[in-house]
Structure 1
C-alpha cells in the first residue's frame, strides 16, 4: 500500500503509530554516551552528580586537573545508576593534588563493577555548601 494513496485520517494514524514505536524503542535502547569522555566543572555544589555513561565491566579512572574548592580535598565517589532503586555507591577518592594549581592532576581508580550506567558525585557527604571548579576532567573505562 502506498502512503500517498491513503486517506488523510489513515495516514495520520500510520504516522502516529510509527512515532510511538520509535519512541518506545528509544526508551529501551542502551545509552549512547561514550564510556570515556572529557569535560570541566564550574562552581558545582555539594552533591553534584556527573552525567551518566555506560561502562562495560572494566576499571574506571577519573582525573581532575586544576581544582578549586573551600575544602582541603575534592571528594569523588563513583556510583552505579540503578533505575527505580537506590544507587550503589563505591569508594570515595580524596583529590588533593589538583588543588595545587591549574596544571596539577589528581587521579582516582576504581575496579570493575559490572555492565551498567555509572556516574560520579562530588563531596557527597559534606555538611554545608561547598562549590567546586575543575579546569578539566577525564573519565576513562
Structure 2
C-alpha cells in the first residue's frame, strides 16, 4: 500500500513540475518569410496576428525601377475603419547588394492583425526584394 501511495505522489509531483514548466516558459516569437516581385506603391503584405511585442521587418537584396534606392516600409494595424500606421522606415542598405539587409523595428502596439505597406504615396515606383522576414 505504501508503494502505491508513493507512486501517486511521484506522479502528481511530475505532473505539477511539467505544468509549471509550460506555464513558466517564455513566449515564443513567431515569424514568416517571403519575397517581393514588382510590388507597386501601396502594396500590402499578408496579414499576421501579433499578441503584442516588438515587430522586426528585414529586407535583403532590394532593387527598384526608378533608381531611387529606397523603399519605404510602413507598419499598419488592420482595424475596422482607417488602419492606424506607425513609424515609416526608409530601407536603403538592402540596395547595396544581393546579401545586404535593411532592418526596421517597431514598438509594441498591442495585439491584433498587422501588415506592412511599401512606398505608400509614391507614384509608379515598384520594388523587388530577394528575401524578407517579419518577426513578432
TM-score, normalised relative to structure 1? 0.73
Query: Equivalents in 2 of 1:121, 1:46: separation in Å?
Result: 8
Matching residue of 2:94: 98
> Please, which runs of 5 or more residues in structure 2 have no aligned partner?
1-28
Task: For residue 35 of structure 1, report the CA deviation from its aligned partner.
Answer: 4.3
SS at match of 1:98: helix
Query: Equivalents in 2 of 1:35, 1:53: separation in Å?
Result: 10
Matching residue of 2:59: 64
* Among candidates 38, 43, 47, match of residue 42 of structure 2: 47
Task: For residue 125 of structure 1, report the CA deviation from its aligned partner.
Answer: 2.1
1:78 aligns with 2:61: no
TM-score, normalised relative to structure 2? 0.75
Task: For residue 60 of structure 1, report the CA deviation from its aligned partner.
Answer: 0.2
Deviations 1:37-73 (A, max 9, x none): 0000001101100000001111000000000012231
Aligned length: 106
Deviations 1:61-109 (A, max 9, x none): 00000000122310000000003x1100001000000001110000000
Query: Equivalents in 2 of 1:125, 1:79: separation in Å?
Result: 15
Instruction: Name whichever of 69-78 and 131-140 sits farther off.
Output: 69-78
Show structure 1 runs of 4+ deviating over 3 A: none
